[in-house]
Amino acid sequence: VIEDVQVRKILDSRGNPTVEVDVTTWNGFGRAAAPSGASTGSREVVSFPEGGVDVIVSEVEDVIASELIGMDANDITTIDEVLREVDGTGNLSAIGGNTTVAVSMAVAKAAAASSNIPLYRYLGGNWVNELPYPLGNMMNGGAHAGINAPDIQEFLVVPIGAKNIVEAIFANASVHKKLKGLIQSKDSNFTGGKGDEGGWVPNITNDNALEIQAKACEEVGDELGLEIRPALDMAASELWNSKKQKYLYAQDGVERDTGEQIEFVKDIIETYNMFYVEDPFDESDFEGFAQLTSKVGNRCLICGDDLFVTNKELLLKGIEMNAANAIIIKPNQIGSLSETYATVKLAKQHNIVPVVSHRSGETTDETIAHLAVGFASPMIKTGAIGGERIAKLNELIRIEEELPNPKMGQF
Ligand code: PGA
Ligand code: ZN
């Protein structure tokens, strides 16, 4: 039974305020914080009410506490419904999706603690034994970097040959290190600057970035004796100019219409043997996604982030159109753990790979590591280095140690 709910303002990795929630039951305690995006999808729930975090702490906390105190923390679905009712809007703009998601996750953690089990086991049951492959962020561009960086938002890698999470995490860190030198060979003015998610920010073309990304995968893969594949988050909604009906690549001085974008992405996937490409089209272009998926979906994961915003209805549309074969799962896009789980369940029923993910603005909260394991998500996207990123990665190392028969995720 919930005895207390406390909300406080804390700092995120970009230096912005966010919310942290403590939930106390008579025999347990749970704490969770909400992250924030920079390249957010337009159909996400609203993160914070007008007035921001201060309003939540001064006004919303009491309302939520008075509703939740006395409720059973195991009743997460009901609690999430109560939070939606308290908000009263369709998009959580009154109390903020970041508030509801932090409460929802803190309740789940308190419930798990009250049963004396870790969150991943509380969510996934006793048979949980899979660790997600970490999608590591190597270079940043677009909205996560400054000007003169590549337009593609995230150059990622997947250590698909790793036998366990420790090997996987350190392989990613090695690629990150290797890239520093490779960037210097292309950009003599490189200062070692990094973007929002800890990837390097080079002043090079998209093509050059793709080239050294592939080279780093190959070299480190050979050194460690395991396969490492490149991956991308193109965050193409940020490149799409609706007036011109074109994707603008400022760094390269190139514009592409949808047909050219399909060919461009298909070509990248084939040339570099990409394992995964996220958001290759604007968030409204289900049709473009479907065309690309029909061409290369048998050899590459085509993943929707801004396209689906962790929303079950949008995923359903994507399933009907065969728009993608993977979906990014960010709980704060939809505002609660139970709705997040419903989307994951629908994805799995239709062989869509759920990829639990951080946001560009993060805290040291480690909850998503537990969600990835508890949901048996075969991949987690949570960077490669940096305190707020390694909080999740190191938690995965601890979880692997606890599992009796750990193995890497199954696609
Ligand atoms: P965001 O970006 O957290 O800034 O939305 C991450 C992503 O696009 O995957
Ligand atoms: Zn994305």
Question: Hey, which residues are catalytic here?
Answer: 197, 330
> What integer pLDDT is reported at residue 406 of this predicted model?
98
Q: Are 371 and 340 in contact (CB under 8 A)?
A: yes
- The DSSP code sequence of 219-271 is HHHHHHTS--EEEEE--GGGTEETTTTEEEETTTTEEE-HHHHHHHHHHHHHH
> What integer pLDDT is reported at residue 173 of this predicted model?
98
Environment class of 250 (CB within 10 Å of its CB; exposed 0-12, middle 13-18, buried 19+)? middle
Please write the tens of the pLDDT for every residue from 143-188.
Answer: 888 889 999 999 999 999 999 999 999 999 999 999 999 999 999 9
- Integer Cα distance of 18 and 16 in angstroms: 7
What one-character DSSP code corresponds to residue 162? -
Q: Which residues line ligand 1 (CB under 6 A)?
A: 37-40, 233, 235, 305, 359-360
Total residue count of the chain as it appears in this document: 411
Q: Are 212 and 183 in contact (CB under 8 A)?
A: yes
> For residue 260, how far is its CA from the centre of ligand 1 (angstroms)?
24
Which of 13, 144, 155 has most ligand 1 atoms within 8 Å of its beta carbon, as the pocket-test mutant? 144
Cβ neighbours of residue 89 closer than 8 Å, sequence gap 6 or more? none
**CA terminus-to-terminus distance, the chain:** 38
> For residue 236, how far is its CA from the centre of ligand 2 (angstroms)?
9
Give the position, in ligand 1's atom list, of the atom nearest the Cα of 306.
8
> What integer pLDDT is reported at residue 147 of this predicted model?
85
Alpha helices in 304-357 (DSSP H): 312-321, 331-334, 337-349
> What integer pLDDT is reported at residue 39 of this predicted model?
87
User: How much is the ipTM here?
Assistant: 0.98
Give the pLDDT of the chain (411 residues) as one tens digit per residue: 999 999 999 999 999 999 999 999 999 999 999 999 998 999 999 999 999 999 999 999 999 999 999 999 999 999 999 999 999 999 999 999 999 999 999 999 999 999 999 999 999 999 999 999 999 999 999 988 888 999 999 999 999 999 999 999 999 999 999 999 999 999 999 999 999 999 999 999 999 999 999 999 999 999 999 999 999 999 999 999 999 999 999 999 999 999 999 999 999 999 999 999 999 999 999 999 999 999 999 999 999 999 999 999 999 999 999 999 999 999 999 999 999 999 999 999 999 999 999 999 999 999 999 999 999 999 999 999 999 999 999 999 999 999 999 999 999
Q: Name the nearest CA neighbour of 273 among 329, 228, 237.
A: 228
Please write the tens of the pLDDT for every residue from 15-51.
Answer: 999 999 999 999 999 999 999 999 899 999 999 999 9
